[in-house]
Amino acid sequence: MKAIRSVLIVLVAVVLLAACGKGKKPDEQAFLKSLDSAKKGPSIDEEVINSILQQIPSPLEISVLLKESGTKYNFGLLNTPDNLSKYNSNYKKALNLGIYGTDLGYTNIYQQNQDGIKYLASIKSLANELNIGQFFDIETIGRLATNSKNLDSLLLITTQNFNDINHYLQTQGRANLSVLLLTGGWLEAMQITCQVAVKDPKNKELREKIGEQKIILEQIVLLFSFYKDDENMASLLKDLEELKAAFDKINITYTYKESTMEVVNGVAVIKDNSTTTIDITEKDVQNITTITNTIRKKIAS
């Protein structure tokens, strides 16, 4: 599953952000003035966040999985750009920047360029309002986002951008926004995957991909536990704990087997023979889908 563990290093999610044009960095006062009056919360070591980000499946790569399974493009699964005006707090802006980043990745994989342009505009707006637009080059990302052949380059750029954003927010005492970005991206990828899996119950790969998220969610919940004094994050934590309870019914078993060496195309490579078994039922998927959709609706509306 190495391929699924790359980016969002883009929540997630994360995240697949793609946002605003070149320009001057906002001055310190303007940035701080724009922040919510809620408590900043503790600073979380960047390595802690990055270690979680490395495990979160990239929305772009999940979209590839969906497309390869034969699933058709469905704009109805995404958060419409028309909702942009509803996001009037940094809490909502950060979550939905993550969500829109995932949606952009989805449109990219299906080569729905007209929809992708709409998401780029929404992402640009939110990034500017959060004063992190200076980390994005809209021209470059826009060009890559309209050509799925540039997937690797898009992943690399969005990964680096999120690392820069995370570091910047850390220095501003706003690590909570990084957590929200990755969580928004992850939740959107989850709800899209769940919706497809419910309609395709025989797809074992999708079912297992959902089951894998049990470990990721445990770490996201741990991150949120640092922000219990923030009313918004405490409320979302409660919802995430309900989702975690549904995931707790899934059993993940890791069986270690000694690695072996093989020669592939004249090159010696190490083969990992260990296996992971994920026991997840259709009922589990349905329960997880219901809760995920409820959470996503709450933060996107």
pLDDT at 72 over 70: yes
**How many degrees, rounded to 5, is the angle at CA 161 between CA 92 and CA 100?**
35
Write the pLDDT tens digit of every residue in 94-128. 999 999 988 988 888 888 888 988 888 898 899 89
Q: Torsions phi, psi of 283, nearest 5?
A: -65, -40
171 versus 10: the higher-pLDDT residue is 171
Nearest Cα neighbor of 188 from 107, 114, 67 is 107
**Where on the phi/psi map is residue 261: left (φ > 0), alpha (ψ -120 to 50), or beta?**
beta
Write the pLDDT tens digit of every residue in 119-155. 888 988 998 999 888 776 666 666 655 555 555 555 5
| Predicted model pTM | 0.78
Element spanning 255, H or E: strand 251-255
pLDDT at position 4 is 31
16 versus 176: the higher-pLDDT residue is 176
* Alpha-carbon dihedral 90, 93, 95, 97, rounded to 10 degrees: -140
Please answer whether residues 158 and 16 qualify as being in contact, where contact means their C-beta atoms are separated by less than 8 angstroms.
Answer: yes
DSSP percent split of the chain into helix, strand, coil, nearest 5: 65, 5, 30
State the maximum Cα–Cα separation within the chain, in Å, rounded to a whole number: 61
Domain ranges of the chain: 2-250+281-300
148 versus 176: the higher-pLDDT residue is 176
